[in-house]
Structure 1
Amino acid sequence: MSAAYKSKAAATWLALALGSFGIHRLYLRGFGDKLAWLHPIPTLIGLYGVQRMDQIGQDDRLAWMLIPLLGVMLVQGMISGIVFGLTPDERWNARWNAGQEPRPSGWAVIIGLVFCVFLGGICLMSTIAFTAQRYFEAQV
């Protein structure tokens, strides 16, 4: 019995949409991937930081430390999507679909890749700006 076909487009879009929760890793490696199960922890901690800042305000220093975790997890999801999208079809099929009929990836991968680059850049720059602003505000 052969394993299910792993679509490059599906992996790219899962990394884009739910990469911070590790869903793309579960899709590719299955439910036995321990690292995938660790992804939700820093993501949820970062979301808790966003909630704290919303409730308590910008003076909450704990929220300052927690929110960048969310940014880092979002960025790593986008980077995973970029890596998936830029992997040549031959190499993708050799790694994830060995012994199966190769399928071309198509436009869905390219569109997902563009969104990953766009949103990843926004997330990365926002995380750096937020962290630097809070650091320098704490120094004053």
Structure 2
Amino acid sequence: MEDRREPRPDTPLGYLQRLPASILLDRLPVPILAVHLDGTIVHANPAFEDMLGFEQNAVVGRETADVLAAILADDTTAIEYLRGAAGDIISLVAEDGSTVRAVVSESVFTRKDDPVALVCFHDVTEQLWDAKRISTTPSYRGRDA
């Protein structure tokens, strides 16, 4: 017979299962962004905000368009854009208006009816500078890579 009891809180598994997901996301050193279907940013961990030069908690509640350099077509949602860009280098807008290039992951939420996309980023701006694939002078919104 299968034991359906939850692990005891004093075990490593019990400890992990009792931590809220948002605390775990905030502690990860990888930039993470969660976007709602309506384009609102519902979570940005400190690593994401740091990557773009924002103060802590300055991004949550804003429109995704505030951090995406791409101008989305009227029939494309931010979630569709992020899901479609998985594995690609995209341009993000930093707090100072400069452009940060980052590889975006697949969304952790994979069902098409998930109301949130949760993606990770890997900043490749310096690698592109070193490879002379982009200029070292900052580019600004309206000029994509």
TM range (shorter): under 0.3
Structure-2-length-normalised TM-score: 0.23
Higher share of residues assigned strand: 2
